[in-house]
Structure 1
Amino acid sequence: MTGMERLNAAIKGTPADRIPVFCNLLDQGAKELGLSIEEYYSRGEYVAEAQLKMREKYGYDNLWSLFYVGKEAELLGCGKIIFAKDGPPNVGEMIIKKYDDIAKLQVPDDITSHPAFAEELECLRILKAEAGGRYPICAYLTASMTLPAMLMGMEKWLQMLMMGPSELRDELLAKCSDFFQKQIAAYRAAGADVLVYSNPFGSTDFIPRKFFNELSLPWMERDLGPGGTAGIVYYCGSSRFNDVIEAVINRLGIGAFYLSPMDDIAEGKRLIAGRGLTCGVINDIMLLEWSKDEIRTEVKRMIDAGKTGGKFLFGTLVMPYAIPEANIRAMLEAAYEYGRIEGPQ
């Protein structure tokens, strides 16, 4: 079966050969092509080539159009990105240094014409041409509630979010939500199949439940309202969100949940109750030091907790650049082995 067939079977709860396995290898593409990380992320064709090569090499079920998260800040005016030698690029300047800068923030009328976004679209075009319909292509989007942290820094954003001034906070959130709506529409038009909606502020690990209900949910509704939730995967970074799943299903209608490694998979599966796809996510930072046996034991534990009854996917989180290739293979081979489906589910 193809990755797309496995994903569709998992979503619908229909038979498949094994559960879908998503592996988020991003910066490793530079190593695959023998390029520096800065050079690698300069061209969409490089990212697409590496994505296709790594999927073929390891056999997992997805592809990524994502370059690095800071690209969203570039689209809004950030002119400095810090490129590490062995890790993800980072935002090098905050474009909102004082409250007056919020009024100056401009959301591009057409983000597809921005040179930084044009390379992502070129990557998507190549992936679609080479593997469209066979392997789901993932795009990454930062929620309006989270994007300000990349524009003004986490500390300043938390202060404004919690203590105001509320009118400036809402002005910034509205601009970030407008940007999100343009971005997701562009990804959909370009053919992205899976839209990962990243919002750590959609977890009560970050904010109190009352704040989640009164602020987070309404802004998520604004983000997703125009285009709907088809293809959306709810993702809170590494933050837990089992306790908000019911509210997210009821208010937003999202049908796929990329759990935190700290979430109880069996509990998440129980809460979703067949109304969507449960994605069990390994703490892949530990792949830097775990032995092969430890990796296999953890993968088996996770799949045993989620596979029964179907509608389950095995996934990774950030996949640090320095993970040994042998450990990547050990994890994936265990996921393929323990994820095999035999007989009715």
Structure 2
Amino acid sequence: MITGMDRLNAAAKGEKSDRIPVFCSLFDQGQKELGISSEKYFSNGEYIAQAQLKIREKYGHDNLWSLFYVGREAELLGCKKILFSEQGPPNVADFIIKNHEDIHRLQIPEDISLIPAFEQELKCLKILTQEAGGKYPICAYLTASMTLPALLMGMDKWMELLFLGPRDVRDELLEKCSDFFKKHWKACKKAGADIFVYANAFGSTDTVPMKFFKEHSLGWMEKDLENIDKTGLVYYCGSSRLNNVIDIVIEKLGISTLYLSPFDDVAQGKKIVAGRGVTCGVINDIPMIDSSENEIKQEVKRIISAGIKGGKFAFGTIGIPYNTPERNIFAMVEAACKYGGYEYWKK
């Protein structure tokens, strides 16, 4: 039987499997799948792992997630208050950095895996590795140094510090966040993760001007990734566009898997990557809440048709909303498997 890992390895090598890899981001659906409250669900790594395995089996996509929710990293650094929702992802409810003195006091643990708050993620990764290791890629979510402060102090205060300074305080925080990124990557890799989604909202010129990207974002990304094994690393900027930074990312950062925005031109992105890595075409999954099954299938076909020629291509989502009808998720995955089949395009 061909596995998700087989498909991913084939895509990375420019070889053809039965179809392209299909990656789904189904997080909050786990609590619904297990029939438990959000707070209970996200408190236990065993629940996360069970739900991920169950969801993958149900829909038939090719990956598993060790991510609990964006904001979990703030807990690893001391956040004690999380706001839970029964119809969406949890979020940070109390920022650990309220003033510059808090930045000076912030300490990055030497070994992330020894933090009590990381215990449940280790439990999740252990189960996923035991049950599906080597068969389906296990994805970890890692926040870049320039984006992590938004989870620690709020986006408004971080933007003020980032652009207005004081510079020494800003750089002190970035140094600590970069150190955390490296240690978080190491802990996840050691625990069995295969894919490392390098998330950076400031890695796209949708968020910052190109001049800032080159003079500031790039340098901190290089620092984050210094002495890091790039195997399995995925460049990801949420729904922000990548096409005009792809060349820089490949040449300067050595990342060869580019997770496009739903708003990027897929054919153009594939052309820019030019065989130097894997291009992932991504659907805008927010409208899937109200779209018809046929509309979803046609959108999937459009994305895949623009990128499948020549291989080294995958299909993905950003974060499928909690209230998306199951029939629409089935329609999306079924269409991705159908139109992602290389034999289909020989007809």
Query: Could you state the TM-score of these two structures normalised by the residue count of structure 1?
Result: 0.98
Q: Is the 8 A contact 1:15 1:344 kept in 2?
A: no
Letter of the 2:201 partner, please give it.
P
Deviation (angstroms), 1:14: 0.7
- Structure 1 residues 344 and 85, CA, compared in 2 at 3 Å: closer, same or farther? closer
Q: Partner of 1:126 in structure 2?
A: 127
Deviation (angstroms), 1:97: 0.8
Q: Partner of 2:246 in structure 1?
A: 245
Letter of the 1:318 partner, please give it.
G
Q: Is the 8 A contact 2:282 2:317 kept in 1?
A: yes
SS at match of 2:322: coil
Deviation (angstroms), 1:241: 1.3
SS at match of 1:57: helix
Deviation (angstroms), 1:58: 0.8
Deviation (angstroms), 1:142: 0.4
Q: Is the 8 A contact 1:65 1:138 kept in 2?
A: yes
Q: Partner of 2:13 in structure 1?
A: 12
Deviation (angstroms), 1:163: 1.4
CA distance in 1, matches of 2:154, 2:75: 14
Deviation (angstroms), 1:191: 1.4
The runs of at least 4 aligned residues of structure 1 exceeding 6 Å deviation read none
SS at match of 1:280: strand
CA distance in 1, matches of 2:40, 2:47: 9
Q: Partner of 2:116 in structure 1?
A: 115
Which whole-Å deviations, capped at 9, do the CAs of 1:41-100 have from their partners, x for residues lacking one? 111111101111111111110000000111100111111000011100000011111112
Which whole-Å deviations, capped at 9, do the CAs of 1:215-272 have from their partners, x for residues lacking one? 1111111111122311100000111111011011111110000111011100100000
Gapped regions of structure 2 (runs ≥ 5): none
Q: Is the 8 A contact 1:181 1:226 kept in 2?
A: no
Task: Give matches, 1:16-27, under 5 Å.
Answer: 16-27=17-28
Q: Partner of 1:139 in structure 2?
A: 140
Which whole-Å deviations, capped at 9, do the CAs of 1:111-150 have from their partners, x for residues lacking one? 2122221100110010000000000000000000000001
Q: Is the 8 A contact 2:111 2:187 kept in 1?
A: no
1:310 and 2:297 are equivalent in the alignment: no
Task: Give matches, 1:276-291, under 5 Å.
Answer: 276-291=277-292
SS at match of 2:139: strand
Deviation (angstroms), 1:343: 9.0
Computed over aligned residues only, the root mean square deviation of the Cα atoms, in angstroms, reads 1.1
Letter of the 2:312 partner, please give it.
K
CA distance in 2, matches of 1:225, 1:171: 18
Q: Is the 8 A contact 2:125 2:193 kept in 1?
A: yes
- Structure 1 residues 344 and 291, CA, compared in 2 at 3 Å: closer, same or farther? closer
CA distance in 2, matches of 1:15, 1:293: 27
Q: Partner of 2:330 in structure 1?
A: 329
Gapped regions of structure 1 (runs ≥ 5): none
Letter of the 1:303 partner, please give it.
I
CA distance in 2, matches of 1:25, 1:344: 28
Task: Give matches, 1:101-112, under 5 Å.
Answer: 101-112=102-113
Q: Partner of 1:178 in structure 2?
A: 179
CA distance in 2, matches of 1:79, 1:108: 17
Q: Partner of 1:293 in structure 2?
A: 294
Q: Is the 8 A contact 2:338 2:344 kept in 1?
A: no
Q: Partner of 2:98 in structure 1?
A: 97
CA distance in 2, matches of 1:156, 1:42: 29
CA distance in 2, matches of 1:85, 1:15: 41
CA distance in 2, matches of 1:49, 1:164: 45
SS at match of 1:23: coil
Q: Partner of 1:320 in structure 2?
A: 321
Q: Partner of 1:210 in structure 2?
A: 211
The farther-off stretch of 154-163 and 268-277 is: 154-163
Q: Partner of 1:263 in structure 2?
A: 264
Letter of the 1:76 partner, please give it.
L
SS at match of 2:318: coil
Letter of the 2:63 partner, please give it.
N
